[in-house]
Structures are given as C-alpha cells and as structure tokens.
Chains A and B, each alone.
Chain A
Amino acid sequence: MDAVDKKILTLLQRGLAICEQPYLAVANEAGVSESDCLARITKLKQEGLIRRVSAFLNPQNIGYRSTLCAVHMPEEQIEAATKIINSFDEVTHNYLRDNEVYNVWFTVIAYGDEGVNKIIDEIESKLNLTVNNFSSTAFYKIKVSFNLEDIS
C-alpha cells in the first residue's frame, strides 16, 4: 500500500459523489488516472483491506429497525448455536465476548419493530435460550472511517 492507495482509501471511506463517473473525482484527487484508480480499488478489495464497497444505509430512515441482543450461552452450545444465529440474514454482526452474564452478542436488523421481534422470537425458540433485546433509546455516534496515516 503506497501513499496513493492511502489517499484513495481515505476518500472512499468519506463517500463517492452521486454522478455518472463517481470514481473520477477520487482518481483526480489522488492524482492518478481513472483506470489506475479502479485497478487499485479492485486490488485493495481482493487483498481484503477493503471489506466492501457499497451503499451504507441509515436503516431507521427506510423503515428498518436494528437492535443489539445478548445471550448467556453455555460453552458447549456455542458452536451449534452460532450456526443457528448466523443462518439469519438479519443478523449482520455476532461476537463472542469475555463476560459471565452475556457472552454472545449479535445485532438484528429487520423491517419494522415487528420484523425485529419476529426474528428474535425465532432465534429464541431455535436456541431454547433467552435472547435479551437491548434496544437503543438514543444514539450519539457511528464512525466508520479509520485514519490510515500510521499504517505501513
């Protein structure tokens, strides 16, 4: 990764302009041709540094609701339960954490509150464990960009 790649990644994290050739402005600002810019982005994605290039939505503004759920899961159930939880497209993040009360934490995102509750009920009945719904009452920050200056 060179200085141009870093510049491109910084710009891509900020977001593309909505126009016919959205990558052209990125290329210009990074000082490379559009085709070079596209090749670099493709390469950074293949290498896994870019997780994905896509639209990022504000789910609540398009009728979706998201929440964070936690489960107290016995060690021996984790493997099988992970398969069940992860099989839901509505679960986008799932983490095993070092906590004695709740060790499995996952997000549910679905259309409307009913959609979210339906998924939680389904997961609960398949796991035969209590799924605790920690729905949000306020949010103060979502930051998705990382400073690349110190990365070699």
Chain B
Amino acid sequence: MTINELDKKIINAISAEFPIIERPFSQIADTLGISEKEVIERVSPLEQNLCIRRIGAALNHMKAGYSYNVMVVWDIADELTDEMGVIMAKHASVSHCYCRVRNKDWRYNLYTMIHARTVKEANEAIEEIKAQITYKEYQTLQTMKELKKTGMKYFQGVL
C-alpha cells in the first residue's frame, strides 16, 4: 500500500511509544491536530496491510526469565536454505531465522537467534535442530555484552 504523509506522521508518533491510557488514539490525534477517528481509520489499513505488525508490548526477555541467548550461524548448501530455514523456524526456542549473504571470511548463510532460560536449554535446542537439518558446519556466538537495544523511530526527519 502507498504510505501518505499522514501515515508517516502517525507511524512516527506510535513507533517509539504508544500511550498507556484509556484513549491512546485520542492523545495521538491531539498531537497531530486531527480527530481520533481519523487516526484509527489510518492505522487499521496499515495493520491490515502488514505495515504495522502489531501494537503491543515488547518484554525485557532477561527479566521475563529468558536470560540466555545465543546466535547460531549455519553453513547450509544454497539449494537447501529455504527448506532448512523453514525447519529451524519451527523450533520453539528460535526467535529469529534469516538467510544472509556470505563473504570470503564467513561461510555461514543461515542465522538463528536462540532464546532460552538456561545454557542447558539452549544447548538442547541446538542439538535438536542439528538432528533435524542438513548442514556443513555451524558456530555459536554468545552474547558477551548487549551494547545497544532500542526501538526504531520511523520517519524521523523524513517528514
């Protein structure tokens, strides 16, 4: 769908923070100088057309008990990436699964993020995935430090 200037303003207003009040769209409408109804009538199609995935909460997964996360990268034959990607995506501990370009120093092309409560749970997940897929090699990259994690404010300055 085509995003118009008003859509951009609305997305900008709600991508960083959505008000936790009875009438959140009314507050957004006030800041944009339009009616609550207009905002809702723009947000609905944005959601139906999957521009907006959802309006909701993101939890701090550390505090939610999922304190161990690891990125696992896999070297998988090009002709098998889609098939293996779909299999890996089905595993409950896999939160993200992407196919990415390789380079001369980095042969890995499938990336999975594994969120688990414990190291043991993560290792079990990796073993379960290994048993289900065809791969040449893999590597686990543990998070040593979260240097930044924030939301994106869209259409900042594009307006």
What is the interface of chain A, defined by CB distance below 8 A to chain B?
A: 9, 12-16, 18-24, 34-35, 38, 41-42, 45, 47-59, 61-64, 68, 70, 82, 85-86, 89-99, 101-106, 109, 111, 132-146, 148, 150-151
Nearest B-chain residue to A19, judged by Cβ: B40
- Some 12 contacts from A to B, beta carbons below 8 A apart, are A9-B64, A20-B36, A53-B17, A54-B15, A54-B17, A54-B151, A56-B52, A57-B154, A61-B1, A63-B3, A92-B149, A138-B99
Q: A42-B20, A50-B58, A53-B57 are in contact. Are A141 and B50 (CB under 8 A)?
A: no
Choice from B40, B49, B96, B149 contacting A141 with Cβ under 8 Å: B96
Nearest B-chain residue to A115, judged by Cβ: B158
Q: How far is the CA of A55 from the CA of B98 in the complex (A)?
A: 22
Q: How far is the CB of B72 from chain A (nearest CB, A)?
A: 11
Q: How far is the CB of A66 from chain B (nearest CB, A)?
A: 9
Main secondary structure on A side of the interface with B: mixed
The answer to whether B129 has its CB under 8 Å from any CB of chain A is: no
Q: How far is the CA of A51 from the CA of B1 in the complex (A)?
A: 30
Choice from B24, B53, B106, B152 contacting A102 with Cβ under 8 Å: B106
Q: A9-B59, A50-B58, A51-B60 are in contact. Are A92 and B18 (CB under 8 A)?
A: no
A140 touches B144 (CB 8 A): no
A59 touches B152 (CB 8 A): yes
B97 touches A139 (CB 8 A): yes
With A20-B36, A141-B96 known, 5 other A-B pairs at CB within 8 A are A54-B14, A58-B51, A111-B158, A140-B98, A146-B59
B85 touches A14 (CB 8 A): no
For B16, list chain A residues within 8 Å (CB): 52, 54
Q: A138-B98, A140-B86, A140-B89 are in contact. Are A18 and B44 (CB under 8 A)?
A: yes
Q: How far is the CA of A138 from the CA of B111 in the complex (A)?
A: 11
For B22, list chain A residues within 8 Å (CB): 21, 23-24, 34-35, 38
Q: Give the total of B residues in contact with A, Cβ under 8 Å.
A: 75
The answer to whether B123 has its CB under 8 Å from any CB of chain A is: no
A12 touches B98 (CB 8 A): no
Q: How far is the CA of A93 from the CA of B11 in the complex (A)?
A: 20
Q: A98-B144, A138-B98, A151-B65 are in contact. Are A56 and B58 (CB under 8 A)?
A: yes
Q: A138-B85, A146-B66 are in contact. Are A56 and B56 (CB under 8 A)?
A: yes
A140 touches B88 (CB 8 A): yes
Q: How far is the CB of B129 from chain A (nearest CB, A)?
A: 12
A20 touches B47 (CB 8 A): no
Q: How far is the CB of B73 from chain A (nearest CB, A)?
A: 9
